[in-house]
Structure 1
């Protein structure tokens, strides 16, 4: 049996790739490290975005487990244009997984790259893996395993958030949200 802990980054100052954690986010990262400390984590893979890396760095330091940065865990780009109705556009991408806006990627495209990280991690020797990413991508990763997950579930995510995916003989993991704010 393998566990994949999917972690959404702590509170950050913005959406840019170099956005820092807020002072609250820094404290959340320390609390998250304590929360995950007893989970026997032996592998950490993170989005290279600063807010994701800084979210898991305290745990990495405590466990002396190196953080592997993986571009496939970066946030999903809805479009390369700014739209005032971006939220409605995002909602539609949960209903039509192939819907793709200009300069962006469809839900299926984003889901595929996130799942490829999970598949590789499951194929490794590691037993308890942490993946650190971003809200939209995480919701799509979870949707891959449970089609009931959609826009409402994305809206209900917190910063940070943690889901435990337990993989055994079945193809689909048991999914449990284990973070409670």
Structure 2
């Protein structure tokens, strides 16, 4: 039985240092409407999101039309890079992608983040077999999850993601059989 998971990277957000409550920008809200329109064509049965406001807001347009609530899943929150801001974000992110065991102080390694995300996906696959599930999440954790199932999804792939972006992962049981990008840019 095929289960489809739609990993939705959140739309553009208005920067605030408050990671949990950072909202979408006006541009992000416009894109979220397009996310809802695209996902309405996919016969979504369940909506799950990271607890971060921007991830929730990116998929919440589906809730009214489909009459579904959003289930919050802590495991889909973004990977915590470091306790404090890093001096050179680009080189820091490259470093954690090159070495999945490396951890900046107060952060989490790629292996830790990947493990929590993949475990959540596997639970969902067992519980909702045969369903179509939209998951509002974040770029880094999204690609770490994809990498768990297929190592070709890596740092270089992560750099190509848009805000928002949608990838449909089709599973036969717990085996990834197909990945398809369904986000259509203007």
Q: TM-score range by the shorter chain?
A: over 0.9
- The root-mean-square deviation of aligned C-alpha atoms, in Å, is 1.4
Structure 1 gap ranges (5+):
none
Q: Please report the TM-score for the alignment, with normalisation by the length of structure 1.
A: 0.95
Alignment of 1:20-35 (within 5 A): 20-35=23-38
Match of 2:135 among 131, 156, 159: 131
Asked if the contact 1:145/1:173 (under 8 Å) is kept, the reply is no
CA distance in structure 1 between the partners assigned to 2:134 and 2:98 by the alignment? 28
List runs of 5+ in structure 2 lacking aligned partners. Answer: none
CA distance in 1, matches of 2:116, 2:64: 27
Q: 1:120 to 1:25 in 2, by over 3 A?
A: same
Q: Is 8-17 or 60-69 further displaced after alignment? A: 8-17
Aligned length: 181
Task: Tell me which residue corresponds to 1:140.
Answer: 144
CA distance in 2, matches of 1:41, 1:173: 19
> Does 2:167 align with 1:163?
yes
Aligned to 2:22: 19
- Please say if 1:8 is aligned against 2:9: yes
How high is the TM-score relative to the length of structure 2? 0.92
Q: Which residue in the other structure is 2:96 paired with? A: 93
Q: d(CA) in 2 for partners of 1:49 and 1:151?
A: 23
Task: Tell me the CA shift for residue 125 of structure 1.
Answer: 3.3
Q: Matched residues in 2 for 1:61 and 1:28: separation?
A: 17
Would you say 1:104 and 2:126 are equivalent positions? no
Return the offset for 1:122. Answer: 0.6
Deviation at 1:169, TM superposition (A): 5.3
Residue 151 of structure 1 corresponds to 155
* Deviation beyond 3 Å, 4+ runs, structure 1: none
User: In structure 2, what is the Cα distance between the partners aligned to 1:172 and 1:59?
Assistant: 25
Cα distance per residue 1:90-117 (max 9 Å; x no partner) = 1121221111111000001000111112
Matched residue SS, 2:134: strand
Higher deviation after alignment, 120-129 or 5-14:
120-129
